[in-house]
A and B are shown apart, each in its own frame.
Chain A
Amino acid sequence: MTAPAYPKTWRRPPQILANRRIRIAIQIGVLIYLVLAVGSIEVNWLRVFEGLERGQRFVMGFLSPDFTSRWRDIQQGLVESLTMTLTSTVIGVALSIPIGIGGARNMVPRPVYLVCRSIIAVSRALQEIIVAIFLVAMFGFGPFAGFLTLTFATIGFIGKLLADEIEEIDASQVEAIRATGATWPQLLVYAVQPQVMPRIIGLSLYRLDINFRESAVIGIVGAGGIGATLNTAIDRYEYDSAGAILLIIIAIVMVAEYSSSYLRKFLQ
C-alpha cells in the first residue's frame, strides 16, 4: 500500500481577513492615508529654528543647574508637593479599598457593584489636569486643590486595580471560609485580604510615586507644589533654576521607584 500524499507546504491561514483582495486594499488605503496625513502637517521652519535656540538655552540651564538662588522657593514647593503626595495617597488608598471591594463582582450584590464601578469609571475618565483646573477654580490656587485632585485620581486607579484583583482571587479559598459559617466581614478578612494584601501594598507604593510626578504637573495649572515653582521659573526664563527643579524631581522619582520595588520584593 502506498503512503497517502500528504502536502509538503503549509502556511498559516489568515486569521482576520480571509479575502486576499480586501486585505491588500486595506493595506494600500492605510498607506495613502499616512502619506496624506503627514503632508497636511504645517511646519513653520523659521519658528522651529528659533525654538532650537531656546531649546539650547534650556539644555545649557540643565548643564549648569542653579540650586541656590531660588532655594527657598524650591524648598517650599518640594515640601508642598511631598505633603500633597503623601496625604493624597494615604486618603486615596483608604477610600479606594471599600470602593474596590464594592467593585468586585464576586463579593457584592449587583447594585453595589454597579455604583462602585461607576465611581471608578468617573474618576478614571477625568484626567488629572482637567480635575485640577476645575478644583483650582473651586478652591483657589494652592496645594489643597492639588491634594483633592490626587486623592480623586488615586481612587480611580487603586479602586479599579483592586477590584480586578479581587475578581481574580482563588474562589476555592473563599468557598472554604464560607463553608465554616463565616460572616461576610470575616470572609473579607480571612479569605480575601490575605490574597490581595501584597498587591494593595505594591499598588499603593506605585501610586505614591505617580502622585509625586503628577503633583509636579498639576502645579503648572495652579494646584501648588513643585510644579508651581517650576512654572514660575520657566516664566521668568530662569532655565538654570528650572533645570535644578527638574533634576530634583528626577532624583526623588528614582529614589521612590527603587525603594518601592525593594519594599515590594521584601513583602512577597
Chain B
Amino acid sequence: MPACFQFGKTAMLRLTNLSKTYRTGDKALNDVSFEVHKGQIIGLIGPSGAGKSTLIRCINRLVEPTGGEVRLGEVNLVTLGKSDLRRQRRRIGMIFQEYALVERLSVMENVLSGRLGYVPFWRSWLRRFEGHDIQRAYELLDRVGLLQHADKRADALSGGQRQRVGIARALMQDPDLLLVDEPTASLDPKTSRQIMRLLTEICSERGLPAIVNIHDVPLAQHFMQRIIGLRAGTVVFDGVAEALDETVLTEIYGAEDWNALRPETPAEPARAPVEVPA
C-alpha cells in the first residue's frame, strides 16, 4: 500500500482474505484484503457483478462471508454472535442506492431509526426517544439542509432529499465507519455531485472513514483520494485516484476506448478540505 495512506495509527477497518462463495457455487469475493484508516474515503469501483455490493455487505454481515476476517478496530466481526453483531452494527452506518428509507414513516422517524440499536424496544415502539437523541436528529437534519421537512413523510421528498435523509440516518448511529452503496446511482448528475460533496465534507468533518461503491469513474476520481478496483471478486487496483489511467481501467473493466468519452479534467480539485466542525 502506498505510504501516503498510512495515517500513523492503526487501521479502523482491516479486511483479511475476505471471501464469499454463494450457495450456487458462485465465487463473489476472492481473498480481499485491505485496510481503511480514520478519515479516509475509499471509492470502490468495478464492473457490475464484480462483488462491490457483496463486499460492503460482508463487512456488516448483511451477507455472511464464507472466509477471512473483518476487523473493526479490535473486534473481528465475522465470528460474533447475534447480539454482539447487533452491537457492532451500530458502529457502521450504511447508505443505500435507492435510499432504502421507510417510505411511510416521517423524515424524523427515519432519522431516529438510526438509534434503534441503542434504545430499548418500548422507546422505539412508542416513539419516545430521549431528548438528546431528538436534539441530535434535528441537528443532523439541519446539517443536511432538511430541517423544515422533519415531519413530512419520506415518500414526499425528491431523490436528492431522500438521500440526505439516508445520510442523516447513518450519522445518527454515531458510526465509526460508513458503508455507502452506489449513493448516486438513482440521482441526476448535479444532485449526484451535491450528494458526493456533502458526503465527503461530512466524512472529513468527523474524521469518518467510508467505503463508497460507485460506478461513475470520473465522479469517483473527482471526490476520492483512494480508489480500489474490483474485478470478479478480486482486488486488481488499490491506489491514489490520479493513478487511475487507461491501463488500470482496462484491467478493471476490460478493453474499451477510455479516452473517447472522458470529460475534461476538472479545473478545481473538488475534494473537501479538512474543516473543523463549527
Q: A residues engaging B (CB < 8 A)? A: 170, 172-173, 175-183, 185-186, 189-191, 194-195, 197-198
Contact = CB atoms under 8 A, between A and B. Distances in A.
Contacts of A180: 89-90, 94, 113-117, 169, 173
B25 to A, nearest CB: 22
Given A176-B96, A189-B125, A181 B102 contact: no
Given A186-B124, A189-B124, A190-B105, A181 B89 contact: yes
B133 interface: no
A206 B102 CA distance: 26
Q: Which of B86, B100, B121, B169 has the most CB of A within 10 A?
A: B100
Contact of B121 (A173, A179, A186, A194): A186
Contacts of A194: 102-105
Contacts of B94: 176, 179-180
Nearest to B117: A181
B92 interface: yes
Given A175-B100, A194-B104, A194-B105, A181 B124 contact: no
Given A173-B101, A180-B90, A180-B114, 7 more contacts: A175-B62, A176-B96, A177-B113, A186-B121, A186-B125, A190-B102, A194-B103
A182 B118 CA distance: 8
Given A180-B173, A181-B117, A173 B102 contact: yes
The bracket for how many chain B residues form the interface is 20 to 34
A185 B126 CA distance: 13
B103 A173 contact: yes
19 contacts: A175-B100, A176-B102, A177-B102, A178-B62, A179-B60, A180-B114, A181-B86, A181-B89, A181-B117, A181-B118, A181-B173, A186-B116, A186-B124, A189-B121, A190-B105, A190-B113, A191-B102, A197-B104, A198-B104
A194 to B, nearest CB: 4
Contact of A182 (B86, B92, B96, B101): B86
A259 B98 CA distance: 37
Contact of B86 (A175, A183, A185, A197): A183
A173 B124 CA distance: 17
Contacts, number: 81
A75 B213 CA distance: 68
Nearest to A178: B62
B87 interface: yes
A177 B105 CA distance: 12
A60 to B, nearest CB: 54
A177 B114 CA distance: 8
Contacts of B124: 182, 186, 189-190
A194 B106 CA distance: 10
Nearest to A177: B113
Given A179-B62, A183-B86, A190 B96 contact: no
A128 B176 CA distance: 57
Contacts of A198: 104
Contacts of B102: 173, 176-177, 190-191, 194-195
Contacts of A175: 62, 96, 100
A198 to B, nearest CB: 8
Q: Which of B102, B103, B115 has the most CB of A within 10 A?
A: B102
A175 B166 CA distance: 13
B116 A190 contact: yes
Q: Which of A180, A197, A198 has the most CB of B within 10 A?
A: A180
A68 B100 CA distance: 61
Given A176-B94, A190-B124, A182 B113 contact: yes
Contact of A183 (B60, B101, B121, B166): B121
B100 A172 contact: yes
Contacts of B125: 185-186, 189
Contacts of A177: 102, 113, 116
B96 A172 contact: yes
A182 B94 CA distance: 13
A241 B92 CA distance: 71
Interface in B93-136: 94, 96, 98, 100-105, 109, 113-118, 121, 124-125
Contacts of A170: 103
B196 to A, nearest CB: 20
Contact of A179 (B87, B89, B109): B89
B70 to A, nearest CB: 14
The 3 A-B residue pairs whose C-beta atoms are closest, nearest first, are A181-B117, A176-B100, A181-B89
B7 to A, nearest CB: 26
A200 to B, nearest CB: 13
B93 to A, nearest CB: 8
Contacts of A178: 62, 89
A54 to B, nearest CB: 55
A179 B104 contact: no
Contacts of A190: 102, 105, 109, 113, 116, 124
Contacts of B169: 176, 180
